[in-house]
Structure 1
Amino acid sequence: MAADRRAAAAIIMSAIAINERRAELDGAASATLVLLCLLWGLQQVAIKVAMTGFSPVLQGGLRSLGALALLWAWAALRGMRLFERDGTLGLGLLAGLLFAGEFLLVYAGLSYTTVSRSILFLYTAPFLVSVGAHLLLPGERMRGVQAAGLACAFVGVAVAFADGLRLPTNREVIGDLMVLAAAVLWAATTLVIKGSRLVRASSTKVLFYQLAVSGAVMPVASLLMGEAGVTAPGPLALACLAFQIVVVAFASYLAWFWLVARYPAARLSAFTFLTPLFGVLSGALLLGERISVSLAAAMLLVCAGIWLVNRRAPAVGA
């Protein structure tokens, strides 16, 4: 636990070293981005391992509650007013419900499918955001290269589904569909935030809404689903839950929001293709998951699609 807190502090403190807005990514920002993508890729492994001591959906609820407590303390130390009336409560609750549904499906889906497969389907969300923004948000038109990225990712998902259908049972396909549904909810959450007054709220407050609602909903859902709950977790399961709470849901999100406030969002988003790559590799290296030729091809197609979707538009007159 102490090591996890030190890791979280290191991520935050490394981010605080620079405080001005910059037009280009520097070495520190690039290194932080790669580290964040690695942490997000490892999250699914941590969820899988922690299932040895915690039921999936309950685990997700504990993650949100733990991160909520840390975020609340962080906001109090910085004098942030999380409960000030600004007209975002209803929208915040909606974003929180979508966030809760997303992670309920991710955690439940991982009890059926592998880390390697789940992260490929989860990271279809950037493509769904691009389509939704094109249809719903003014000024967010999809360019030709983004459409090519969408097509590339669609082929990758189709290849991954076909690979799952060749497996001995349909368990993986059930989990794949659950995680794909989670990606839809992730995209919906992003569009709600981008298309409403939540976009003008502080990132800390938006994250607070999401953690608070999911922390309330997921333990109740776990009870209604008849999950076993906490089942004598060992040190490794506890460490994996602590990693999710302290490093991923708290520290990494704060570091990401810090980067978004200081560097161009398009440049930052271009790095997200690394997350499914790290996720697939960590599932294979740490859990011994099988990576077939088809799944490897699907991974490359999805990563290439993410890169194309987030590719920066050429400057006018260039």
Structure 2
Amino acid sequence: MTHIYAKLVGSAVLWGGTWVAGRLLGTYMGPFSAAFLRFALASVFLYFLTARIEGRFPRLARQDLPWLLTLAATGIFAYNALFFAGLRTVPAGRAALIVASIPSVVALFSGLLFRETFAPLKIAGIVVSFAGVGLIVSGGDPLALLAKGLSSGDLCIFGCVAAWAAYTLAGKKAMERIAPYSAVTWSCILGALMLLPPALFMGLSRDVANAGPVAWGLIAFFGILATGFGFSWYYEGVKALGPTKAGVFINLVPVVAVFLGWLVLDEPLSRALALGGLLVLLGVWLTNRRRPSERRVLPSGR
């Protein structure tokens, strides 16, 4: 079982590294070029991985197409275009901590859309998480934020939160009929196709011609390591430990991003960033904490 925990930690480290890698890659090419190349490479990797795991690569069923297009449009196209655009101006650690609030956003909209109950603990978690985001974005000075407003980079990162929350909520329904690896692989393929036209329009050919070894190394990190191995290791953990235990490791992602941002990019670690990050993670923990009565009804082995 040790190797499963190692793979879960590894996936969190790889995903945390994407924030620093995205910040660096943004200096070499535009957001649509970076996003397309990432998922073009990831699609090839995941195609062969899915075929090996499931025995063959599953065909695209017509009745599943609307769900897969929704996943591709939100989690691949919108999220990654906004991700690379935002990281051109927003520090990696700050962006990662804002995006760490996604579970609280998902919990909020799950309650509103699917009429899930809002337990007091969940409400408290959502409020605490949002307070942490406010502290991070304002730098500890809410009045200055009200006076200046959000930057375009911050708006892009908040767009990432909205896009991934939509992807998660759509995936909740999609996974009822589509196997996880198939859903991820097809959404990557369809998302890459969606990203191609704007990438071509925004200078993909120029970016490819000008990309040097560092840029291609970053793209390989995104496509093969972070997307390919990151997803496969995480799903192995979900299969072995269950989604609840495996999901705990996601909380390592912003911590790794902040540390690598400081180590690699020399990003400052302010008190507001540290306290805001702690509030976000505390809020996420409270949001997803189960009451004793909820734990008792879980199947054994979870």
TM-score range, shorter chain: 0.7 to 0.9
Q: How much does 1:317 deviate?
A: 9.4
Distance 1:316 1:46, change over 3 A: closer
Provide the rounded CA distance (Å) in 2 between the counterparts of 1:142 and 1:316. 14
Q: How much does 1:315 deviate?
A: 4.2
Q: Which residue of 1 aligns with 2:299?
A: none
Deviations 1:183-212 (A, max 9, x none): 111011111121x24433111111122211
| Matches for 1:143-154 after TM superposition, within 5 Å | 143-154=119-130
Q: How much does 1:290 deviate?
A: 1.7
Q: Which amino acid in the other structure matches residue 91 of structure 2?
A: T
Q: How much does 1:98 deviate?
A: 1.0
Provide the rounded CA distance (Å) in 2 between the counterparts of 1:181 and 1:146. 23
Q: Which residue of 1 aligns with 2:103?
A: 126
Q: How much does 1:77 deviate?
A: 3.4
Q: Which residue of 2 aligns with 1:219?
A: 196
Q: Which amino acid in the other structure matches residue 190 of structure 2?
A: V
Distance 1:101 1:283, change over 3 A: same
Distance 1:144 1:30, change over 3 A: farther
Deviates more, 1:236-245 or 1:82-91: 82-91
Provide the rounded CA distance (Å) in 2 between the counterparts of 1:86 and 1:210. 14
Deviations 1:24-73 (A, max 9, x none): xx544333222221111111111122233332221111010101011112
Provide the rounded CA distance (Å) in 2 between the counterparts of 1:203 and 1:216. 20
Deviations 1:199-249 (A, max 9, x none): 331111111222112211223223444676236333222222111111111
Q: How much does 1:265 deviate?
A: 1.3
- Are 1:57 and 2:32 matched, yes or no? yes
Q: Which residue of 2 aligns with 1:234?
A: 212
- Are 1:75 and 2:50 matched, yes or no? yes
Q: Which residue of 2 aligns with 1:117?
A: 94
Q: Which residue of 1 aligns with 2:84?
A: 107
Q: In 1, are the aligned partners of 2:26 and 2:84 still within 8 Å (CA)?
A: no
| Matches for 1:250-261 after TM superposition, within 5 Å | 250-261=228-239
Distance 1:55 1:171, change over 3 A: farther
Provide the rounded CA distance (Å) in 1 between the counterparts of 2:293 and 2:57. 39
TM-score if structure 1 supplies the norm length? 0.82
Q: Secondary structure at the match of 1:312?
A: coil
Q: Secondary structure at the match of 1:297?
A: helix
Provide the rounded CA distance (Å) in 2 between the counterparts of 1:317 and 1:280. 33
Q: Of 43, 57, 63, which aligns to 2:18?
A: 43
Q: Which amino acid in the other structure matches residue 135 of structure 2?
A: V
Gaps of 5+ in 1: 1-25
- Are 1:85 and 2:61 matched, yes or no? yes
Q: How much does 1:251 deviate?
A: 1.0
Q: Secondary structure at the match of 1:150?
A: helix
Distance 1:98 1:131, change over 3 A: same
Distance 1:102 1:305, change over 3 A: same
Distance 1:162 1:84, change over 3 A: closer
Q: In 1, are the aligned partners of 2:4 and 2:236 still within 8 Å (CA)?
A: no
Q: How much does 1:154 deviate?
A: 0.8
Q: Which amino acid in the other structure matches residue 68 of structure 1?
A: S
Q: Which residue of 1 aligns with 2:300?
A: none
Q: In 1, are the aligned partners of 2:79 and 2:160 still within 8 Å (CA)?
A: yes
Q: Which residue of 1 aligns with 2:285?
A: 307
Q: Secondary structure at the match of 2:207?
A: coil
- Give the root-mean-square deviation of aligned CA atoms: 2.5
Q: In 2, are the aligned partners of 1:106 and 1:182 still within 8 Å (CA)?
A: yes
Gaps of 5+ in 2: 297-302
Percent identity over the alignment? 27
Q: In 2, are the aligned partners of 1:146 and 1:309 still within 8 Å (CA)?
A: yes
| Matches for 1:163-242 after TM superposition, within 5 Å | 163=139, 173-194=151-172, 196-225=173-202, 229-230=207-208, 232-242=210-220
Q: Which amino acid in the other structure matches residue 282 of structure 1?
A: L
TM-score if structure 2 supplies the norm length? 0.86
Q: In 2, are the aligned partners of 1:277 and 1:303 still within 8 Å (CA)?
A: no
Q: Secondary structure at the match of 1:218?
A: helix
Provide the rounded CA distance (Å) in 1 between the counterparts of 2:295 and 2:51. 48
Q: What is the aligned residue count?
A: 289
Distance 1:62 1:120, change over 3 A: same
Q: As a proportion of its length, which structure holds more helix? A: 2
